[in-house]
């Protein structure tokens, strides 16, 4: 039985976020330069979006470029930016036909002009689509986002007594999206790398050794099935979540 066939449509995560890692190692294993892995990683993006759409998951966030990625070799950064522009141009018609709404979070003002232009054209073109929201984290840093939220709240002049978790959440770049329920990281690394630190407070984390260019639809469904087998307690006990659990223990 495939992993897709094992998915319980009544227990789907509303939002899946992915740290797409392993492009460089994948390229090295094929005797190629790092950018070769990034080019091949585009197919994994297509597969993940197709899987989310087929399963009925309305929000998918991809960590495409972090603020720290500017520290990579200049040639690689330029190639990544060009790849992003080309991908948006090549994919936008299909995204629009399939009801995908393109969104972005991060300090997009610092992106190259050509990249920013194509990004915002794609966002505007798909603004009214509602089947699935594809959120690209570009020049993104969770610490940058939280600092900006603090500055925004500080400038508002709001009293200390009125500052709460909801206010902070509504001051973040993700204010229009639900928090991720499932975070996937590929390539075997077990860290979150400054990604959605506020939003993943109660997110289920899933780590796979699969390198990003090899991540396909079935790998996506496998992560969803794993998520559905977990007990999400949000600080409560098993008995509070499911009173029958205590009865089962007695039996």
Taking residues 172-194, report their average pLDDT: 98
pLDDT digits (tens, 9 = 90+) for 167-176: 999 999 999 9
CA-to-CA distance for 217 and 68, rounded, in angstroms? 29
What was the pLDDT predicted at 251?
A: 41
Domain assignments of the chain as residue spans, ordered by start? 10-231+238-250
Q: Return the active site residues.
A: 21, 69
Question: Within 13 Å and on the Cβ side, how many CA atoms surround 204?
Answer: 19
H or E element in which residue 25 lies? helix 23-29
CA-to-CA distance for 54 and 216, rounded, in angstroms? 13
Q: List the beta strands (DSSP E) in the chain.
A: 15-19, 59-66, 100-105, 132-140, 182-185, 204-207
pLDDT digits (tens, 9 = 90+) for 47-58: 999 999 999 999
Q: Is the pTM of this model over 0.85?
A: yes
What was the pLDDT predicted at 1?
A: 87
pLDDT digits (tens, 9 = 90+) for 118-155: 999 999 999 999 999 999 999 999 999 999 999 999 99
pLDDT over 80 (residue 183): yes
What was the pLDDT predicted at 231?
A: 84
State which fold the 10-231+238-250 domain adopts: Undecaprenyl pyrophosphate synthetase (3.40.1180)
Taking residues 199-205, report their average pLDDT: 98
């Amino acid at each position: 039985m495939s992993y897709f066939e094992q998915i319980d449509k009544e227990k789907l995560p509303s939002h899946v976020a992915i740290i797409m890692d392993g492009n460089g190692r994948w390229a090295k294993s094929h005797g190629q330069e790092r950018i070769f892995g990034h080019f091949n990683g585009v197919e994994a993006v297509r597969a993940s979006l197709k899987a989310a759409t087929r399963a009925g998951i309305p929000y998918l966030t991809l960590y495409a470029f972090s603020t720290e990625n500017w520290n990579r070799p200049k040639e690689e950064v330029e190639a990544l930016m060009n790849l992003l522009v080309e991908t948006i141009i090549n994919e936008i018609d299909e995204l629009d036909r399939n009801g995908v709404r393109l969104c972005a979070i991060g300090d997009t003002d610092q992106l190259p002009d050509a990249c920013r232009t194509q990004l915002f054209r794609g966002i505007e073109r798909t603004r009214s689509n509602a089947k699935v929201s594809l959120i690209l984290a570009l020049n993104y840093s969770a610490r940058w986002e939280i600092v900006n939220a603090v500055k925004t709240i500080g400038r508002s002049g709001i009293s200390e007594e009125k500052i709460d978790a909801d206010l902070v959440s509504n001051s973040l770049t993700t204010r229009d999206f639900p928090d991720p329920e499932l975070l996937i990281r590929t390539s075997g690394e077990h860290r979150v790398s400054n990604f959605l630190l506020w939003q993943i407070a109660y997110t289920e984390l899933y780590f796979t050794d699969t390198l990003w260019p090899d991540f396909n639809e079935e790998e996506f469904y496998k992560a969803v099935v794993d998520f559905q087998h977990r007990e999400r307690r949000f600080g409560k006990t098993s008995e509070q979540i499911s009173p029958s659990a205590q009865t089962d223990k007695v039996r």
